[in-house]
Amino acid sequence: MKRILIAAALLGMSVSESKACDICGCGAGSYYIGILPEFNAKILGLRYRSSNLTTHLNPEGQRTYLTTDEQYYTTELWGGWTIKDRYRIMASVPVSVNVKNNETAKESKTGLSDVAVQGFYRLLRTKTTVGKSDKARLLVQDLWVGVGIKAPTGKYNPADKSTTSVSTNLFQLGTGSWDFMFTGMYDIRLQDLGFNATASYKVNTANQYDYYYGNRFSGSAQLYHKFRFDNKFMIAPSVGFNLEHSRKDIDGITAIRATGGQLVFATMGAELSFEKFSIGGNWQPVVDQNLGAGAVKAGNRAMLHVSFMF
């Protein structure tokens, strides 16, 4: 019990001391992926994420002739490697398709986005039984902590940045900056009923054009249940929420008004596994938001993935 309290306290500290989010678009986008498939050694997969924004709303949040609808579609090759049961390396290589429309024009761009690599250390791993011997259940908990780096591999085009301080600068394939991530992942499961929580804080740096994307915090919490069939097939539905919060971007010395804010999603998903193969996804409807001083509104999100364990 003492170790459980310590793990929960560490996770709570990482959430309460963080001050910022990932909205969507370019290399500033969210890294939320839901509950990872179980894997002991190596995993390789493809992940598809979609999100959208409506920008250039008036102060009352209503559409104008400048209002733009932006869609972001990202396909990632991602993988993980667990070493000696305590160390884990995870990486993602994303390719993005960005599309935006308004009353006067339609624009799109496609290409490599920002590659990210993270290293994790398993700080806590326990397996105990609870209850009387005839009704004993297995209690398992894990706590991983990690650091990562995001490289400026995606193209950042300064010409796509607005010359005013009232527009977002998310319609980019990359941020053009080296950024750093600090992550904690905690999971506790009583037999097949579990709770998963993740918190991540991304510290951004200014790119060569002196544009700085605000530091971003994201946190998620989910309940899930694993239903096993013949010890070969498993389905694990989950439900929870995802919180994101961001500081404002800074262009030179100017804070960009239509950036920063807070966003809350509900999350509903499922994970299906069969021996070395896994497929899963989630839907994330918006619950609450306050983005860009009301000039930006986010839409619902979705994610799908297929993975192979070996």
pLDDT at residue number 109: 94
What pLDDT sits at residue 192?
92
Residue 70 tokens read as: 């932006």
User: What pLDDT, on a 0 to 100 scale, did the predictor assign at position 166?
Assistant: 62
Q: What is the pLDDT of residue 295?
A: 87
Spatial contact of 262 and 172, defined as CB atoms under 8 Å apart: no
Confidence at residue 188, expressed as pLDDT on a 0 to 100 scale? 94
Q: What's the per-residue H, E or C state across the chain? A: CHHHHHHHHHHHHHHHCCCCCCCCCHHHCCCCCCCCCCCCCEEEEEEEEEEEEEECCCCCCCCCCCCEEEEEEEEEEEEEEEECCCEEEEEEEEEEEEEEECCCCEEEEEEECCCEEEEEEEEEEEEEEECCHHHCEEEEEEEEEEEEEECCCCCCCHHHCCCCCCCCCCCCCCCCCCEEEEEEEEEEEECCEEEEEEEEEEECCCCCCCEECCCEEEEEEEEEECEEECCCEEEEEEEEEEEEEECCCEECCEECCCCCEEEEEEEEEEEEEECCEEEEEEEECEEEEEEHHHCEEECCEEEEEEEEEC
pLDDT in tens, 38-97: 666 899 999 999 999 998 888 777 888 888 999 999 999 999 999 988 999 999 999 999
Instruction: Quote the pTM value.
Output: 0.86
Instruction: Name the stretches of the chain with pLDDT < 70.
Output: 1-40, 163-166
- Write the CATH number of the domain with boundaries 2-309: 2.40.128.130
What is the rounded distance in angstroms from the CA atom of residue 80 to the CA atom of residue 150? 16
pLDDT of residue 198: 94
Q: Where are the domains of the chain?
A: 2-309
